[in-house]
Amino acid sequence: MTDNNMFSLLDILITGSGLYLLYCWYLLMFKGEVREGVLLPNKSNGKCRDIEGYRKAIGKKLLVLSLTALAAGGLGLYSDYVKPINTYLYLALTLLFLIVLILFVRTAKKAEKEFF
């Protein structure tokens, strides 16, 4: 597999995860459902003590993560298949996505301990 094919695969995975995270945000904010495997570990009981508090604690951060993933993956796909873009812009957006991901994981762990 060449480097371009590997980056294309990663861009597709990041874009797909951004779409799925956006769906999880929709479920959390509008239907009050918390998806196991994304916001909670698979082995949790899934019973939230305060769903409104959890929404406030994690909702905006989940939206930012999903939009950052969509932007990073979408820009990568655009660069791979339409028109090459500046490599530094691509790397900066990917780095931003990774930083947001790390901060989100830390916040999600704190919210899990507090609300579940």
- Assigned domain for 37 exists: no
- Assigned domain for 36 exists: no
- Assigned domain for 77 exists: yes
Q: What is the pLDDT of residues 40-97, one digit of tens each?
A: 766 666 677 888 899 999 999 999 999 999 999 999 999 888 998 888 998 999 999 9
Neighbouring C-beta atoms of residue 64, cutoff 10 Å: 15
- Assigned domain for 71 exists: yes
Give the list of residues 6+ apart from residue 43 with CB closer than 8 angstroms, or none.
none
- Assigned domain for 47 exists: no
What pLDDT, on the 0 to 100 scale, is given for residue 7? 80
Asked if 40 and 70 touch (Cβ cutoff 8 Å), the reply is no
Which DSSP string corresponds to 64-99?
Answer: HHHHHHHHHHHHHHHHHHT----HHHHHHHHHHHHH
- Assigned domain for 79 exists: yes
The pLDDT > 90 percentage for the chain reads: 55
26 against 85, higher pLDDT: 26
Q: Which domain holds residue 18?
A: 3-31+52-115
Number of structural domains found in the chain = 1
What pLDDT, on the 0 to 100 scale, is given for residue 46? 62
- Assigned domain for 45 exists: no
- Assigned domain for 12 exists: yes
Asked if 64 and 46 touch (Cβ cutoff 8 Å), the reply is no
